[in-house]
Structure 1
Amino acid sequence: MSGVVTVEQVGWDDAFQEYFLGFSHHFGRVETRWQARKYLRGLMAPLGRRNGWTLAEQAGDDTPDSMQALLCSPCFDRDAVRDEIRAGLVEAIGDEGGVLVADETGFIKKGKGSAGVQRQYTGTSGKIDNCQIGVFLAYHTRYGRALIDRELYLPQSWTADRDRCGRAHIPDDVAFATKPEQAQSMLERAVQAKVPFAWFTADEAYGQHRKLREWCEERDIAYVMATRKDHEAPSGLHTVTRVDQLIAKVRAGAWRRMSCGDGAHGPRVHDWVSVPVRAEFPHGRRGWVLARRSISTGELAYYVCFGPRGTRLRTLVSTAGARWAVEESFQTAKNEVGMDQYQVRRYDAWYAHITMAMAAAAFLTIIRTAEAVTGKPSSKQTKTA
């Protein structure tokens, strides 16, 4: 499911039209609807850059004004379109054994006017940079993977300055929320929408957030989340122990070599071991500390886990490995549909462009999944989004 593939290259006109009609009613005016269709087609066109000018030229518009107006339009129900994207993906790749993955990605920016921008660390550049941070929820199943939700992270330097927020069109009722809190909101929306899944996973920025873990436990959402080596886990009556110390006590023969999934260069093979957490969990569930050891360097990584009794090590390992699905989804959305190539500053415009990019990436996922199964697009898998 890799490589840039466009609507024009494979003649998906009928499938695209049916797909777009699934959510076109969420653009309240006919001219907004028509512009949205052109914007979406432009995102999937073989363009070097996808910004207002190039999208306008692709659509045959004289200026980028109409494209820019779409992103700020009050006739564009961004959240409703997001919900339709999620529903279409569930129909195409839904699986009770699926994994929801939370993660963030950076959008490098110049200046100080773009909503949420500030100097902050981003894995996109691997350093502190002037950027916006988007927090996303991906859906990964044996049939495919794609982004299904998004939130723009607003640092306290923004939410504490309502005049600055006003200039970026950030509504007055939008308050500060941590990235784990944003992930929890997206996870809650997925649950309410009855997205079928078995596990949730995220990196240590989320695994270290106790309230997020407790929220998942209360709602019986099984998870495997990365954590730091100094994370303390219950190890006995009224005692806790650092996870690296717990794992250090494991006998050498307990480690198992297995793959946590395929990567760009084949199976990602490591040594793995799990240790039960000595604590009572809601719903009669169990907890574990999971460790991953590099075959080449011996470097260790740690995870905290919650799930059904009797869960096998292989299940914990595959769930931990599923986190890479969100990185692959970011790569698809940025490289194939220009998710990071926008030139907007407004809060509502960010959500508009990101939602349209998610819609374009979802269409490619749905079509590829259908072709992998049947050799051609199926009406069932392209009638909604």
Structure 2
Amino acid sequence: MIRFTSLLLFVLLLGFVSCKPGDEVKEGGIPLHLGNRAYAEHSTDFAFDFFRRINQSNSTKNVFVSPLSLHIALGMLLNGAEKESYAEIKKVLRLTDEEYNNLYKILMEGLPKVDNRVTVNLANSVWYRQDKSVEASYTEILKQYFQAEVKPLTTVGPLNDWARQKTNNKIDKVLDRIDPDLFMILMNAVYFKGDWQSQFKTSNTRDESFTQANGTSKQVKMMHQENSFGYAQMQGYVACELPYGNGDYRMTILLPNSGQLVDSLVQNYTTTHWNELQKSLKMLSVQISLPKFEIKFDSEDQLNTILPQMGMSKVFRRQDANLTKIRPQNDLWVDFVKQKAYINTDEKGSEAAAVTTVGFVATNFASTPVPFVCNRPFAFFISEKNSSVILFAGKVVSL
């Protein structure tokens, strides 16, 4: 079940709280009005597609991602693209009209205000080298609709500092270095901290057995409580909904039936299944047992493969990127998309964070490679970097 916790937070990190027009301002929060009901549905399609693919690449690992963070970061990228690249990104994001920037603006302003008992912070930034120009109209859009900070790209320190600051120190490093040919970076950060509406008593937490995906058993700290929760029995799984704060944010747990694999559930789960679940949840008295858990997840280079699989490939190719709204010289392309995410869940509630980073390189900005042609005898060593211990040494004098 721990590996399945990333799905538990689709509503947490992609959970657009949709309310009907005319709803009153609740005590302790302001309902979020998207004004576009289709957007929530389509963004959920994006979330499940993204999650299925990242899960498939990490079948033996815990997985935790933020579809919302990726969606916003790619939304900033979309504003810089034209022609076929623009069409690809828009299709992957399931955006069906031209007013998508207004939707991002509503999310940036509205999600933090939904529940005063839950902390939700969203932040964006764009970093670029000051010796090359970026279209002012592009950065103005990012500032107006995404509340993006515009900063100079120099060393890796300020980027990591920004990530730490925006995630309450939960994401402490997004990049190890700034490569010489890296020209620009887009960053999105999402931070969430919510206390359970009904907290678990620490006195009820005890060591119990948890059967892992590989069949082995492990002792874990298992939390317990009995209360009224949304509950449903669905085909192949049961679900329980645990609210945070005033109840607008919630964790929805999907537990496969005994003998069923969680990967099978994840790989076949769709927005249709999700919508059916929402209609089926009923308030019942539930005795819930939930392990305390902490997950740190790094997508590493996986999104460079997953996003083309989802239909967004041209921005990764120098000749096809068409990022001319950022630089009309048409010399930019996307070098990488990465995401780091964190969650800790205990008796009090959950704290979660994610940072998505999009890196760009420029054709005429790349450094000239230094030739190194081994066309004569040479020596070589194999060593351990940290200790400088040399494991192997050799030379090549004939081939």
Q: Same fold (TM over 0.5)?
A: no
Q: Select the structure that is richer in strand.
A: 2
TM-score, normalised to structure 1's length? 0.25
Which structure dedicates a bigger proportion of its chain to helix? 1
Larger Cα-atom Rg:
2
